[in-house]
Chains A and B, each alone.
Chain A
């Protein structure tokens, strides 16, 4: 409840045209409460970037909370090491409190703003997107060929002409990139005043990129890894994430290279087994399949206190969608000279379309927002701290 004092102060600030402090949401207030406890303890400082960033602050305004929440990698180390974790009455569970706020920031910073809601019922969002994607390509295939069971003479492009595919995917992909870009731009600009103010330069940029690409903060701070189902350390979350991310990037590279071959070199698919698009595509597809299988398995076995249970459908839905993309992509190899090709192609393209369309409104966003937080952290930590705590 607000005190009379507080209301008077806010009224005065409003009358003077000062910016009014933002009232924290319950999730933000919970992170602020926990950070106040953590800041007085600091035992977890060695685990990750969150705690050193915390020690530069004495209070935790919503914008600080957004920053710290996205800096948190949900590795679980601080929960298992916490002397104040439940059943302690302080009930400190930093990974969980941060996860709830992270989910909220995805909604708040989504572009266009109204679509942030898609995060909240993400299982449904992904299902609908997938159904629409499949229906679209099924309808197109049937309209053009009248059947989903045939051996087209020109391979894939015998089902869907190349230009058609480009004209469908390019706008969706560009929209996804634009939406994520605008969202994270606003996120960065709101974070900036509270995180050292300085603009990002090459040094911090390289550092943040290195941390993101190596998943530095899933190493536990000591190199033994993070946590999954209990207080034991594991490298498997990191390994499966690497397989997923780099597998995805390899598949993306395969598609980009194929586009280049098609337009630049005038070479149309299919490409030979040892061509670059094929090597990237098959390698990436296998990695993505293994990575998502592993991540899904780990996610199902995660300790119940890790993270926000309400985000489980988002996490698992995204993993499942990526898995489907990988599996159907590899399926195309097997189905290439068979009459099943159009059906597998419809499945694959429908899944890819659903994935692209929901990139800015699903789990994919975590990579973008976390990288942004790592970037601001790399900037901030280069600035001298404003605090002079006596015990140092």
Chain B
């Protein structure tokens, strides 16, 4: 098979690369590890794109200038970012949406429950799976070849130059290759190794749930790191980890398994004790630290406890909470020691100082003389029925990736590859070395997917023409 561009992966970044390469005139083969029903990787669980804009734009209100976007990135990453690549991502986010629309993506104003990002994020109508479907339809129409259930095991490289990929015993050669096969968050063994042991001897990663696809096993990440000596970025021991409903499925629980009532009540661990300030800040700004907090607790489990006053003030959870008319009964139903639990709740209730409760502001309801304190929205938990939701750490994505430059080229020993490109989660760590802010993963995937696809096509076509030219000269 005479192939210009091989795209490995089947999510947003891979599809952007395949579409761009095809539009540039290259022949393209896309290999998706998952079966068709599960295609799209974590992109199928996303819902928006963080977009720079200097003035209101269709579904985006006000302005979100480059500098503000950059400052936001700087803040969430704590400086673990590459300014040039970050700014490239930001600028690309300001002008990619017409191209996305041309491939069938629809945008809509923010969803209810997400109005806080109305200014910064453009929502995909129907979410990420609708976007993925649109891209696959467009790719098929344009003549991109697509293979499902085609996980690539390893690459064949020569001095950092891509030669071939091995898939199911088949050797697939191409003039250029784009890697966009996701992180390693569903590789349980690797997660176990990365998170190590807690002081109590437990392996926290054994109790993790994976919010996204089961197909992000990091096979090529590991291969390129260990066997090909590729230049890497990002902390291999870090992953984006949030507290989600403990009853969520092991994989693909996605957005709906979130528990949004933490700041309206208290959270206790398996021993029935509180362990962190539940009211430190608004939940959208705090949910990402609670995964790690719960991971550090015995058994990697926590229990969010609320009373009837909180009902209707937070996004409804996917599973009904455990419900009881007394706190003792709630403790028993949750399998917690009622004595310690009652002591914790009693101390908390007694420490709540009267204030003006307002869950839409950082209000003045706080505890006094309690450790850890609850600094906002602290109201006694005293109105039955009471509800409890068990929490577990849920992994969204990993940060480890391949180092790239502004042309999305993979690097070996500090030198860019001539024909191997990387996009999406496999290189997001270049821009987002730590932390997260809504919609930025899709911004990175779209920006670098498009760059990688275009660069791969240009390189491949140039190579083809050179060869043809050489053949002519020899004839």
Chain A interface residues toward B at CB < 8 A: 36-37, 39-47, 52, 55, 58, 77-78, 80-84, 86-90, 221-222, 224, 231-232, 386-392
Contact = CB atoms under 8 A, between A and B. Distances in A.
Contact of A392 (B47, B106, B112, B252): B112
Given A80-B133, A388-B312, A41 B254 contact: yes
A232 B137 contact: yes
A132 to B, nearest CB: 47
B126 A47 contact: yes
A80 B134 CA distance: 11
A43 B282 CA distance: 22
Q: In terms of DSSP, what is the predominant structure of the interface of chain A?
A: loop
Contacts of B318: 36-37, 40-41
B113 A389 contact: yes
Contacts of B44: 83
A134 to B, nearest CB: 46
28 contacts: A36-B319, A43-B129, A44-B127, A46-B111, A46-B125, A55-B112, A58-B311, A80-B130, A80-B133, A83-B44, A87-B38, A88-B252, A221-B125, A224-B104, A231-B133, A386-B312, A387-B313, A388-B312, A389-B312, A389-B313, A390-B313, A390-B315, A391-B113, A391-B115, A391-B116, A391-B260, A391-B283, A392-B360
A36 B316 contact: yes
A43 B127 CA distance: 5
Given A40-B258, A80-B133, A83-B45, A392 B312 contact: no
Contacts of A40: 255-258, 315-318
A83 B127 contact: yes
The 8 A-B pairs of least Cβ separation, nearest first, read A43-B127, A81-B126, A40-B256, A46-B108, A81-B130, A40-B318, A222-B106, A41-B256
B441 to A, nearest CB: 15
Contacts of A389: 112-113, 312-315
Max count, chain A CB within 10 A of own CB: residue among B252, B256, B311 = B256
B283 to A, nearest CB: 7
Interface string B108-129: 1101111110000001111111
Contacts of B129: 43, 80-83
Contact of B112 (A42, A78, A88, A221): A42
A162 B92 CA distance: 73
A38 to B, nearest CB: 8
Interface of B: 37-38, 44-45, 47, 104, 106, 108-109, 111-116, 123-130, 133, 137, 249, 252, 254-258, 260, 263-264, 282-284, 311-320, 359-360
Max count, chain A CB within 10 A of own CB: residue among B45, B111, B116, B282 = B111
Nearest to A388: B313
A18 to B, nearest CB: 18
Contacts of B125: 46-47, 221-222
Nearest to B59: A46
A56 to B, nearest CB: 9
A141 B379 CA distance: 83
Contacts of B124: 43
Contacts of A43: 47, 111, 124, 126-130, 255
Contacts of A87: 37-38
Nearest to A386: B312
Max count, chain B CB within 10 A of own CB: residue among A52, A87, A390 = A390
Contacts of B111: 42-43, 45-46
Max count, chain B CB within 10 A of own CB: residue among A89, A388, A391 = A391
A289 to B, nearest CB: 32
Contacts of B319: 36
A87 B214 CA distance: 13
Contacts of B258: 40
Given A42-B111, A89-B249, A391 B316 contact: no
A81 B133 CA distance: 8
A306 B208 CA distance: 35
B364 to A, nearest CB: 17
Contacts of A37: 256, 318
Contacts of B113: 42, 55, 389, 391-392
B112 A390 contact: no
Contact of B128 (A36, A42, A83, A88): A83
A61 to B, nearest CB: 14
Given A41-B256, A81-B129, A231 B314 contact: no
Nearest to B284: A391
A58 B316 contact: yes
A388 B311 CA distance: 9
Given A83-B127, A83-B254, A391-B115, 16 more contacts: A36-B320, A40-B317, A41-B127, A42-B113, A44-B126, A46-B106, A47-B126, A77-B126, A80-B129, A81-B130, A83-B255, A222-B125, A387-B312, A387-B313, A389-B112, A389-B312
Contacts of B360: 388, 390, 392
A301 to B, nearest CB: 17
A390 B310 CA distance: 10
A391 B284 CA distance: 7
Contacts of A55: 112-113
A27 to B, nearest CB: 20
B45 A392 contact: no
A390 B260 contact: yes
A213 B313 CA distance: 37
A26 B381 CA distance: 35
Given A43-B111, A78-B126, A391-B283, A83 B314 contact: no
A43 B313 CA distance: 20
Nearest to A38: B256
A341 B320 CA distance: 66
Given A231-B137, A390-B360, A392-B115, A39 B126 contact: no
B114 A391 contact: yes
Nearest to B141: A232
Contacts of B112: 42, 45, 52, 55, 389, 392
